[in-house]
Amino acid sequence: MAQEIERKFLVVNDDWRHQARNKARYRQGYLASDPACSIRVRISGDAAWLNLKSATLGVSRKEFDYPIPVADAEEILDQLCNGPVIDKTRWFVDYGGKTWEVDEFHGDNAGLVVAEIELRHEDEPFERPPWLGEEVSHDPRYYNVCLATHPYKDWPEARSR
């Protein structure tokens, strides 16, 4: 069984950009979301995946990824997904011996930038980059599944920027 252990943080400035070594553009949408799990489809370049993730709040969740044909994923995104499609650029940033994934959102979630780190176990120590802000791992608003139905542009925080 696949286990994802991931912590998520807000990003407080753009200092991470000069450390970014690579990037990927993602389009993803959700077919289902309920108290037990979410089911999404994601496209990046010439690859696509079907993903099932437990809806557990916190840093540790069950996750399963299955490659699917891009043409199928495009049709699923266009015809079967609930709510708007999430559009983001994921930047890969090495810091303190770990790879951080910095997600810069576009469209209805523009202005939101979060950093994630995957860990081997929940209490694994890691070095915090200076551009890292508040941890939001336990705040469901920052889960992509929630951003699809309650986009950042509608949050009071986004309107005050």
Contact 115, 101 (CB under 8 A): yes
Q: Is residue 95 among the annotated active site residues?
A: no
CA 15 from chain center: how many Å? Answer: 20
Beta bridge partner(s), residue 29: 41
Q: Which residue has the tokens 């043409």?
A: 71
Place of tokens 């809806």: 55
Q: Are 102 and 90 in contact (CB under 8 A)?
A: yes
Indicate the DSSP class of residue 2.
Answer: -
d(C-alpha 116, C-alpha 102), whole Å: 6
Q: Of 26, 30, 95, 143, which one is the catalytic site residue?
A: 30
Q: Among all residues, which ones are annotated catalytic? A: 30
